[in-house]
Structure 1
């Protein structure tokens, strides 16, 4: 019996963040296991379009919410016409059979929901969860609780995945952990990896650095507008010589030279950067609202409260700066990184397994 056609929906494949990398990993895994699939998106990088069965919207609306609505409509049309049997969406849009919840759930006030953008997003989300057969993949316990509360999801309608650790990435990070030799320099070398400054608390990091004259911070990956704002903030606090803001580039090289990852995020789902830092043997200072902050509680880092003050961040930096404490955290992060490496790729197997079970059940009808 022929396997069913799976349609993967993701907003864009031009700039690859965590969500996009996860979507591509699922697609490639499906291909390896012989499942026919296609990817529906607004636009894709040419090198991806040349290697994968990607369908791009013929006409892309100018606004994000309109583009998401167009993707939802196209996916629904493909399923009705028989061009797709199973729809897996990485965006909160429906209808779809499966949803990979890469994003936090955000609630909007009733005033916002009157605006076209938020009215459209709310409608698309409601359509996603209205079917009793719809199934979701969540990345953490808190995320699952929040979605269950808002959309009244029963436990049999979702699965909490193992930590999202890509096998190839994990191998590279473990190599760094084995090769890196800590340097006892005059300054502690801090690293922040973020695209959105406010969500990831980059401004908090810079304000804390301003009060720690022996700390050097490298921020990698900020959007251009955020990068400009953060440079201005560092200048206003007279700490700009100790704050490097660079484009997203060789994260592995940056991790190799970092003493600590600083991640005082205000809004965060899991914080994949936390797991990646630990895989590289780099201790982490992060807020407790990051799902993967739980991996720091055995000594691999310091957990800050959900809305930390600058004083609390400075205190954590001073504690982490102490030679004995930093050495202990490094040892713990190496151990925790080894544990995480043992479950690399498990999340991917869980997703494909669920799709395969659905495939067999539907084929048997």
Structure 2
């Protein structure tokens, strides 16, 4: 008798960068308070989800009478994450001593958050440090209870390897330069690319498909964040990472009627070329896909050649936007409209080919500024179904 194929082992989740930055800040503040003088680990409230985590502290030391530094190291779990083991420095400075008696009025906020070397800047937000909403909530929520009455502190997060690591990410495509970002909507780092995690994604999809006939596929954190801001029902949102092909088929097998593909244009356009695992280690093809759709739309050959020579999808988009501004044309609308339609068609055919189920697929593509570039006709229709009333 043939033995059943073994089920892949469950993937180990880790923590996102904001958690380690927060743990270090807690350790540094406690060190300044001598409570305890040199903590080996700290326990913090993740807030989202509602649970605690114990994070090892690698080193902690005073830098001066009112300043301390604590160092942690990133552990994203069983995730193919380039931040694994990268050090996070959390520097806390007591800017105003508390009276120790009662609440003291101060013109300063109780806690200010700053980005140091290796923590990126948001070029689309007046060069503010790339410390996003969850990270701010986490830091403030855990540090405020530790402040002595009237105390005011400044927290600076430094990622010594951040600038070099950022060159291997798509951060610049989302307007974050010179470093990494403290991004995420949760303290838990779910394995997105590790072997075996596809089963976890399938399980989540099955659960949501039991109560929703229309699902929204988000490739990553930026899509999840934008989906939330648009008012999309979180109950129908499925995070897919790069596993779009298997999850499209799974949705078909579960009887899902409609799927909205919601993602960054540089990732999602790969589906227009028949690439259904979108990790760049597997396949790319963005230049070819973009240039082909430009040619089909009638863009002059010289411009198609310029598009093909662009190193990134964002650069190609900017080229078309500049062309439109200079000539009064609408190449962005025409080309991206065609790409979105091709994504819909190829995705629907992919599902039917692998599980013989008819599923409506629509797509919405956004740029690095998190502004929507294109919606397919089906994408607009499905979006209206999944918005919270």
Query: TM over 0.5: same fold?
Result: no
Higher helix share: 1
Higher strand share: 2
Task: Compute the TM-score of the two structures, normalised by the length of structure 1.
Answer: 0.31
Task: Compute the TM-score of the two structures, normalised by the length of structure 2.
Answer: 0.30
Name the larger-Rg structure. 2
